[in-house]
Amino acid sequence: MLQELENKWETKANRPELEDGSQYHIRCRPGDVAKYVLLPGDPDRVPMMAEHWDEKREIASYREHVTYTGKVGGVDISACSTGAGGPSTASALEELAEVGADSFIRVGTCAALQENIAPGDLIICSGAVRYDGTSDQYVDPKYPAVANQEVVMALIEAAERLGVTYHVGIGYTSASFFCGQGRPGFNNYRQGFMDQIIKDAQQAGVVNFEMEAATVLTLSSLFKLRAGAVFSVVANRIKDQFSYQKSGVEQSIAVSTEAFKILHEWDELKKKSGKPYFYPSLLTNK
């Protein structure tokens, strides 16, 4: 069986894929995924997301990448888990784009960096501080990680429709869950600079810590794709609180799913009007 698999992957090293276009990491091929893709980190969250859809089917499961495709409200939608951190997230996003996806919403959990943001709230990411490490391999560090404005607006509209508590702001994407977010490492390992990470981020108005958004946002901008992110807050680092609330995770899934339904509506309006971008008065002119 192993030998059979190895023979299948005798392909070009520059961009490994099978003759049918199957991608090396996510094991999906053209036609397997929709243009709208949710990106959770946790593979177990993909079937959770699919429960919100009208139709669903499992496409692939390999390494940290589980992929489902289905329909919700008549809109084709997919979800593919990325694993934790930038490297596996970048591989998944590149390969999803290769097989036809062009709009992404990162859906995950985070720690708040402002006192007024409580566990269970949602944070909609408008941009991210690039300490993910991975995006530096693609472009100069001064290039911004900015969410697509249409995705941000759709997430805000979805949160309002569903009546959830949300905040909008710039996040901080770290390559490390512990030392990179100002936590001590194993055996209380510390460096002096770690003591300033939270203080400096809070003073700059940064709203949260997480580990993937900067990668998703930067690569999407570079590749002329659309992306945004929404997070369920599970901790407040200023108050030293940690409270994992399943209801908050469910709300982030519901909001991101609703946002793609909204984006699809706006995309149809753009086609009808011949406009390249969505703007609010398109809704009154339809």
Which position among 25, 52, 167, 226 bears the catalytic label?
Answer: 25
183 catalytic? Reply is yes
25 catalytic? Reply is yes
Which position among 52, 237, 258, 264 bears the catalytic label?
Answer: 237
Which position among 64, 95, 150, 258 bears the catalytic label?
Answer: 95
Please report the DSSP string for the chain in residue order. -HHHHHHHT---SSS-B-TT--BTTT---TTSS-SEEEEESSTTHHHHHHTTSSEEEEEEEETTEEEEEEEETTEEEEEE---SSHHHHHHHHHHHHHTT--EEEEEEEEEE-STT--TT-EEEEEEEEEESSSGGGTS-TTS-EE--HHHHHHHHHHHHHHT--EEEEEEEEES-SSGGGT---GGG---TTHHHHHHHHHHTT--EEESSHHHHHHHHHHTT-EEEEEEEEEEETTTTEE---HHHHHHHHHHHHHHHHHHHHHHHHHHHHT-SS--THHHHH-
52 catalytic? Reply is no
212 catalytic? Reply is no
Which position among 157, 183, 250, 265 bears the catalytic label?
Answer: 183
Residues labelled as active-site residues:
25, 95, 183, 237
